[in-house]
Structure 1
């Protein structure tokens, strides 16, 4: 379909707890590749689901011209399915098999439509994307997070939709596959909306649309242009607010001087009337006139103050709510100076032969960045160090308190609130102190007490970070698997700052080169065709 469009007409959404997430949003998305950005919890994924037809708005409407394929953040976590199911073509392949077996059911032919060559197309795309070792029936549970996301993306591109909506598609992808995704999206000729915090991916967009406390605002160009415009807008808004406050202060001084002059005139007039021995009736009339004049002045000044306050409020509303994100420094005992973990001729389960065996020793303040392609065993290595997997052979010993944050946030129970889980992990800090730490992560009292499963992807990651990092006793070994996924830029920068100051041992897996480069890592552990290689960072 030529010129596909998605149109928002005064769209609002109210959360189940009664809070308004956003209101009166109006915007049109056309065939220009567009990035949707905004802070965690602002409603990007909800808006993407509304645009994709997955969710109805509380008010207003979304008009779609053409078919839409929506790929959620959680697509790669659908482990109870196959590769074909993850790609969204399982029902089509099943219908083809039934037709080949003699079925004449109309529903089977409807499911296939015009895609009689879908098995061949799926096989070609798997091979073209370096996933030729997978079959349509391969269980999704055996795939790494990166492999699962790549299969889901293949399904999106096979959908032949008029409009693609992708929510954080580069999460879990290694560097080569991030570049391949960017190249794929550059070749896409139809409508495209990408929800992302990936600066490299957003740089290639034709425009950026930001969802903020001020609503939706469109910026032409990629991420760099958007960031430059945002910085200038914020500076201008703050200057305007300062100017309005200064004007109010000066006018207040002028009003005060005006009032004082009137009071002096009234006092002088009263003294003169008394000195002239005027009759009491004349004195009473003069007092009435004086009080009426004072009353008029009070009303005029009140109206002036209200107008000044309104100008300040209007200026303040143009300054986006942009509270800082803070992660407090973590205490580490002196025991962290010793050897913390040893892997001796360990065979890792579920990984290719080239990276199956590893020997590794981690000491006190060693900071290791683990890099390598999807499926090489990076996450498996962290699960082994976390005690969640056992080696096929060899010895694995961890001698320190450890904290592990996995890609799926499995340690965060969706039915329980964040503050409940933090209190269970830390019996000494007290609820008030833990609530303060959540507030510094932009998780207010309402979000802290809501079931964590109702939070946005970025908010859930912050909640999992808080439960992991603020546990008691404090960890001497941090194991982080893609900790920057789903986080907005201020939150990523807060994690970077906290980890730079952490004095214990750190093992982190990430495909974000900028993030890894900011952590002050001491060593790189690389998965290569010749096995694991440890070298200075």
Structure 2
């Protein structure tokens, strides 16, 4: 039987009663499915329910086949040996014992039919670019990105029928991503992948859009999904315009009907006052007129209510595509102005900038390189968070640094209060007016930072840095798209497009980087920072 996942009347809520799913019915069949949706829509929760890590409040999840789950935040005991992390330590030890001449029955039982377990393990590591990682090394000796691939290698060795991947490219450099893309592209079973990585989502066979607790299916990869969604949204917006026009027409007709009824009442009263007809006839005519007027009014009120309902339905189908606007004049840097100088800089963990670097005007720099090459260390040194071993890193304009961890805000303060910390001279009204540009309007600006979703936290942190005083004319972002949904990535791209200062972005999400209008590329490799040309590709061969 082929692998499958079926969710029937699935309901789930968090301990505080916040609902996530209420009667969800859906199923996943063979092939690769991209599960997309806004941050907080329940994508990771659904994967955990399928994997059996969470229990539904109601309904059932049926899975045909063994499940392998790669969670969003991979944590492995750093003391584990690689073979233990891969789950083959016992079979490997038994195999070595047999090869050494120990013919105990329990060794043969442990090995079973898996006599090539070591070869398969080394092959799996090699396919993911971990061929240099020996089976006897410890997890603590590999980088964070390599530990993600190590966990994936363990799943591939198990050969599960169903593979669930939750943001697998987070913290992976471009080399590692390419290995992951190959593994995903050749996966033969059922796969459900949650990701914000366009290149990864373009490898799937179908796309499941999770929104408001229900799933809408689209055939094809993410690019095909976006095209289909654009057509849907154009049609939905057209329906809104039609519904708004109909509502205005029904309001006019109701007003006209009320005027007509008022005119009829005045005429009837005049006839009654002048007694032009017998009293009994006039009473009958008045009662008939009242009944007719009541029906007439009810008819138009019903039509108005139906028009309002059609408009509400049409508006509901249109997605919120609000954009962040940060066209702040005080962030502008004139061409030619010196922004940043690096001279004979040696960083805390051995990386260096021997040739020096000068940044001028509103340049847009892509800082790329493998995990562990020193990109974050360089940004933290420029920001003044780390002292260089030697040399100088001098910023000539106000700068702000957005770290990967987004640990800039005080979780106990509201969004507005956090921004006030960075701009103590700004009035509350000015802060709220500017926060509206970051989609924090009204009561949203009063939310505590600790209660924000991932996308909201990112926007709030970006707002605090961008609205700081003095305004940043150099903005540095470290892996900004990690854990952001596609809508948030689009909002960030739009925000940075209107930013008029200098920009340094460290990351591995090349489609996002290129969308920013990058003017220079800097590669951190083998402990040195050097400039590369676009013709060399993201990384030189």
| TM-superposed deviation, 1:167 | 1.4
Contact map agreement 2:12 2:22 (CA 8 A) in 1: yes
How do 1:123-522 and structure 2 match up within 5 A?
Answer: 123-135=122-134, 143-213=142-212, 215-278=214-277, 283-317=282-316, 319-330=317-328, 331-332=330-331, 337-346=337-346, 349=349, 358-365=354-361, 366-398=363-395, 400-411=397-408, 418=415, 421-430=418-427, 434=431, 440-442=437-439, 445=443, 449-450=447-448, 452=450, 455-522=452-519
Q: What's the CA shift string for 1:213-268, capped at 9, x where partnerless?
A: 37310011112221111111112222223223333433444444444444444444
Q: What's the CA shift string for 1:354-379, capped at 9, x where partnerless?
A: xx554433334243211233343323
**CA distance in structure 1 between the partners assigned to 2:242 and 2:28 by the alignment:** 36
| TM-superposed deviation, 1:447 | 8.8
For the residue of structure 1 that corresponds to 2:191, the secondary structure is strand
| TM-superposed deviation, 1:192 | 0.2
**CA distance in structure 1 between the partners assigned to 2:156 and 2:222 by the alignment:** 24
| TM-superposed deviation, 1:110 | 11
Against the structure 1 CA distance between its residues 418 and 150, is the aligned structure 2 distance closer, same or farther, given a 3 Å change threshold?
A: farther
Against the structure 1 CA distance between its residues 525 and 22, is the aligned structure 2 distance closer, same or farther, given a 3 Å change threshold?
A: same
Residue 534 of structure 1: aligned partner: 531
**CA distance in structure 1 between the partners assigned to 2:431 and 2:62 by the alignment:** 44
Q: 2:521 aligned with 1:524, yes or no?
A: yes
| TM-superposed deviation, 1:27 | 0.9
Farther-moved stretch of structure 1 (478-487 vs 143-152): 143-152
| TM-superposed deviation, 1:188 | 1.0
**CA distance in structure 2 between the partners assigned to 1:474 and 1:108 by the alignment:** 68
How do 1:74-153 and structure 2 match up within 5 A?
Answer: 74-75=73-74, 78=75, 81=78, 89=85, 93=89, 121-135=120-134, 143-153=142-152
Contact map agreement 1:92 1:112 (CA 8 A) in 2: no
For the residue of structure 2 that corresponds to 1:341, the secondary structure is strand
Segments of structure 1 that go 5 or more residues without pairing to the other structure are: none
Against the structure 1 CA distance between its residues 390 and 126, is the aligned structure 2 distance closer, same or farther, given a 3 Å change threshold?
A: farther
TM-score, structure 2 length as denominator? 0.82
**Paired residue total:** 525
**CA distance in structure 2 between the partners assigned to 1:100 and 1:423 by the alignment:** 64
Against the structure 1 CA distance between its residues 417 and 266, is the aligned structure 2 distance closer, same or farther, given a 3 Å change threshold?
A: closer
Residue 537 of structure 2: aligned partner: none
| TM-superposed deviation, 1:187 | 1.3
**CA distance in structure 2 between the partners assigned to 1:284 and 1:386 by the alignment:** 88
Contact map agreement 2:92 2:118 (CA 8 A) in 1: no
| TM-superposed deviation, 1:446 | 6.0
